[in-house]
Amino acid sequence: MDISNDPQGDKEHLFRSRRWLWILPVLAVILGLVIAGLVLRTYYQHAAYLSQSVLAEHRLKLDSAREHVEEYFSSVYSLLNYIRSESEIMNASNEMRAHLQLMFDYEWRENRITELYIVERDFDGKRRPILAFEPTSEEQLAKDDHSIELEQEEYLILMEHIRRFDTEPELGAQISREIILSQGELNQERVPGVVYSLPVREGKGLVGIISAMIPVGRIEQQLNLGHYHDQAILASDGGHLYVSTNMTQEVRSWFRDGLLRAGTDGFFERSTEAFEARK
C-alpha cells in the first residue's frame, strides 16, 4: 500500500515537528543566559583584577610614604641606641661628652633633633639632667635664652617616660604627646615637638633614659616626601595627628575631627573603605 500521499501520515509528521518547535526558543533563552553569564563573569573577573591592581599600586605608594617616616625615626633610634650602648654613658668622661656634643651638633645641622638628654632614674625635674646637649653654633647661642622654667614641659615628659620604663621592663621606646619644645629648629624660635626616649638598663634594672627632642615640622617634612605628599598622615595610639604640610585645611580638619571623636583605633576601624590600602 502506498502511503506517500497518505493525508493521515502527513498530519502526524507535522504534529511531531510542531511538538519540537517549542524547544528552540527555550534553547535560545538558555544559550543567551549562558552567554550573558560568561560575559558577566569575565566582566567581574576583570573588575576584580583591576581592583587588585589599583590596590597593589596604592599599597606601594603608601609604603613609600611609610618608608620615608620610618627612615627618619630609624636614624634617630640608631643615634640613641648607639649612645646608650656606651658602658659609662651615665658617668660620661669629659672626652666622651665632647664626642657626644660633636655627634649632636651634626644631628642638629641635619635638622633631625633639637636637643638630646641623658637622664638619671631619680630625675625630679628641679634641675637639669646629668647630660644635656644643645646647639653650639654662635648664631644659636646668641639667641639661646631658654631656662629650666622653659624646659619644664619637657621635664614632665622625661619623668613620665622614666616611670613607665620602670614599671614596664619590656617596653623598648616611647614617643610623647606633642608639646612646645624649649629649643627651636634651625633659625627658628620654640616649636611644637615630641620627646623620643629609650631606656638605659643595667641587667634588668633601669638606670636612666636617653631622649631626643623631635620637632613636629621635621616629621611633616618626611610626610611630604612620599607619593601621597598632600594626603599622608601619621597618627599615634594616643590620637595625635601629624600631617603633610601640603595637605589642605579641609582634609586636615576631617582627619582631626574623626580622630577626636573615635580615637585612633576606632577611626581606622570605621574607615576601612577609605583606608583599605593600608591592610
Residue 131 sits at φ, ψ, to 5 deg, of -140, 130
Cell 621635621 sits on residue: 218
CA distance linking residue 165 with residue 162, whole number of Å:
5
Cell numbers that stand for 250 in this block: 579641609
pLDDT, residue 141, reads: 44
**pLDDT 10s digits, 33-88:** 778 777 777 777 766 666 676 666 666 666 777 777 888 888 999 999 999 988 78
CA 157 vs. chain centroid, Å, equals: 22
Residue 233: beta bridge partners?
243
Contact 183, 146 (CB under 8 A): yes
pLDDT band at 275 (very low <50, low <70, confident <90, very high): very low
Contact 112, 76 (CB under 8 A): yes
**pLDDT 10s digits, 219-240:** 888 877 766 666 677 776 666 7
Contact 215, 181 (CB under 8 A): yes
pLDDT band at 174 (very low <50, low <70, confident <90, very high): very high
Count of residues making up the chain: 279
DSSP 8-state secondary structure symbol assigned to residue 130: S
Handedness of CA 7, 13, 18, 24 (dihedral sign): negative
Residue-range domains of the chain with CATH: 65-218 (3.30.450.20), 227-267 (no CATH)
pLDDT at 139 over 60: no
pLDDT at 271 over 80: no
